[in-house]
Structure 1
Amino acid sequence: MKKLLLACLAVTVIGLYSCETEPADSEIHGVEALGELSEDCVVSVTPDLPSIVNACTTAQGEDAGGTFFDLTISDTELAGDYGAWCVDIDLDLGDQECFEASVYSSYETLPANFFENPQNFDLVNWILNQNFVGKESTSGGAFTFGDVQWAIWELIDDNNCQTCSDFGSDWSIDRGQEIVDAAIANGEGYEPGEGDVLAIVLIPNNFRQSVIIPIPLGCEPEPSCETAFARGDNGNTCFLDEGFSRWGWTIGPLSEGAEESYEIYAAAGQCDINKGELVGTVDVSYVGGDVTVTYNIDDDYTVDETHTYAGNGMFPTDKKGKATVAPGQYSIQENLSGDIYVIAHAVVCGDFD
């Protein structure tokens, strides 16, 4: 559950697939391929992922199917078979080795001290979406998995393999460098879009080498956003009953020492909760003249903005001293005493029925 806290003296918000890479066309895709948004949906490079998976390598090097490792994840929604690449040459990982790993998108903030050049994961994502293996190289011959693995290490680590014995004999530094140069020229700022793959980072919890696996990116419906207000079971007043044209509730009066929790409803037009959707709760504390309001929004939703009022009047007032329910006019008054009223408003985004 997401928690957002607002207090009277400083009003602040606190933010308390299973498949191999599909073949792409033969063209090299540059940054102009960006564009995660379409008319009706959105593609995220930081999707919801499990925090931990259990994985095993099942083949390595020339025995693997075109990547450095064949790898199987046995649990969570990521369960399935993948082609994996190594990203930390300082540590080892072998064939037929099982491990528990923490899971991250390569576009989120990664744990410190695991990767020397994490800023280059955009270039690695670009490489994964070019399907280099098997294509002809200007350096001579076709690109191999060893060329790609060497290029990934060259971009992410601060050193690289010398003999690279696990690559077999059919690889070359020249072809690896060709991949690196192409990534630097075309992949700066790259983000995969719909139909591309995203590099997911697996960091073993037993100090073995980290790997990346590709997962396909699909287009998901863009979430809709609705206005939401907290509502008390008792002691609350609908704005409409007081002559305003906007729906919502003011809660109160609340006495000093009150510590209450209220449901927050989205899209409850005309103050009819049967038309709306319960999206969380709001905790209100009024102690020692200070008011603290905590929004507890369910994990199915995201919060776009919040506005909170607390004061002795049933409603806040605008610059002309006229009562208003416009969220942009809300604030938490300082040094409150006596009975107070609270209005808790949020804009909540999600999949509303």
Structure 2
Amino acid sequence: MKSIIGLMILLTSVLVGWAEASTRPLFAGQHHQIGEVETYYQGTQLVVNATVTEVGWCLARSHLYVGETEPASSAPGQFPYSHELGCALSDTYTIDVNAVDHYVAYHAESKQSSFPIGGTVSYEVNFPGDNSYFDATIDGDGPYNAWCMDLGRTIRSGTTYTNCELRSLNDPDLGIVDQEQNLGYVSWILNQEWSLYPQYSWQDIQGAIWKLTDDTNPVGGAGGISWNEANALAIVALAIANGGDYQADSFEGLVLLCRNEAGAVAQQITVVAVPAYNFFIGEETAWAEGDSNWYNKKGRRVGWGSYWVEPYIIWH
């Protein structure tokens, strides 16, 4: 009986690999650290998690190499895994692996914004806006057209809110909007010149945004405003028809998540339309710092990217 139990324990230990996480800096432009990349094994999976820690920076896309042999190429486009990230503050891969050490390389295309994305700001709210549900002033800058994406929380006109986390509407992992899969449609709405279509009021536009982002499927009268239900539904249909994988043109969307002392979002989730011109002020390739570089046949180093070996540890 003891031998059978011992064999079961051994088989379980072979199947369950676990290691303490290793953390490596993520450098943009070779010398500017903008975040960290954490790697660890979780059973028979390797988890690679990148986090942006430098305010104002985000990740547009990423490429990952995981393999049992050294990566032959330093070209990220040839890596086996990739993510389109928009303007994200985090990025996670979970890769099925064998119980052996693995080579890992993490590359990202990073962007720097003129706004403190990932940081904390204050903003003042004033109802109604000239062409929107309300106006928002961010750290004294504005006012900008602003819209509500959250019927479950309230804000008050003439109030300045603090401790507001600033995020991009193109961040695929806001983690708080009911229907995040529809945020691209909201971006499309922000970028339309609605004054050319006078049949649609700002109330209709706000109703359409709520229908796209809130689980309640609101009708006219929700949120204290009335709209033409047919018009709101028509805007939703237009957004769905034209806004798939939409890239911002005239306006970028900033999302404000205002938190209480406990860290929970306490006020309504607001999207602010800011001019796209000069929104992004820089782009840099980014690599997680590794232990090995690529070299050509003449022994010369190729680029500044690097990779490392992630040991697979098995508990006995």
Q: Normalised by the size of structure 2, how large is the TM-score?
A: 0.54
Shift in Å, 1:308: 4.1
- Whether 1:67 aligns to 2:123 is no
The higher radius of gyration belongs to 1
Change (3 A) 1:331 1:119: closer
Q: How far 1:146 sits from its partner (Å)?
A: 0.5
CA–CA distance in structure 1, aligned partners of residues 302 and 223 of structure 2: 65
One-letter identity of the residue aligned with 2:271: I
222, 247, 261: which one pairs with 1:164? 222
Is it true that 1:128 corresponds to 2:190 in the alignment?
yes
Q: 1:111 aligns with which of 174, 181, 187?
A: 174
Change (3 A) 1:45 1:172: farther
Structure 2 CA distance for aligned equivalents of residues 179 and 333 of structure 1: 51
Structure 1 unaligned regions, length at least 5: 17-35, 37-41, 137-141, 224-300, 311-315, 335-353
**1:175 has 2:150 as partner:** no
Q: 1:186 to 1:3 in 2, by over 3 A?
A: closer
Residues in 2 aligned to 1:333 and 1:186: alpha-carbon distance in whole angstroms: 45
Counterpart amino acid of residue 255 in structure 2: V
- Whether the 8 Å CA contact 1:198–1:217 is kept in 2: the answer is yes
Verify the 8 A CA contact 2:295 2:302 in the aligned structure 1.
Answer: no
Q: Secondary structure at the match of 2:124?
A: strand
1:324 pairs with 2:299: yes
* Aligned residues between the structures: 206
Selected match of 1:204 from 258, 269, 272: 258
The residue identity in structure 1 corresponding to 2:137 is T
Does the 8 Å contact 2:292/2:307 carry over to 1? Answer: yes
User: What code does the residue aligned with 2:276 have?
Assistant: L
- Corresponding residue SS for 2:215: coil
2:247 aligned counterpart, secondary structure: coil
Q: For the aligned residues, what is the CA RMSD? A: 4.1
Q: CA deviation at 1:174?
A: 0.4
With over 3 angstroms needed to count, the CA separation of the structure-2 counterparts of 1:98 and 1:309, relative to structure 1, is closer
CA distance in 1 between counterparts of 2:309 and 2:232 reads: 63
Give TM-score scaled by structure 1 length: 0.48
- Post-superposition offset of 1:45: 10
CA shift, 1:204, in A, is 1.4
1:335-346 → structure 2 map (5 Å cutoff): none
Tell me, yes or no, if the aligned pair for 1:198 and 1:216 is still in contact at 8 Å: yes
Structure 2 residue aligned with 1:139: none
Residue 216 of structure 1 is matched in structure 2 by 275
| Aligned equivalent of 2:155 | 93
Contact map agreement 1:134 1:144 (CA 8 A) in 2: no
* Aligned sequence identity (%): 23
CA shift, 1:65, in A, is 0.9
Runs (4+) off by over 3 Å: 2-7, 12-16, 42-48, 219-223, 304-310, 325-328, 330-334
- What are the superposed Cα offsets for residues 80-108 of structure 1, whole Å, 9 maximum, x if unpaired? 21121000111112212221211100111
1:115 Cα deviation (Å)?
A: 1.2
Contact 2:290 2:308 in 1 (8 A): no
Whether the 8 Å CA contact 1:88–1:153 is kept in 2: the answer is: yes
**Bigger share in strand:** 2
Relative contact order: is structure 1 or structure 2 higher (C-alpha 8 Å, sep ≥ 6)?
A: 2
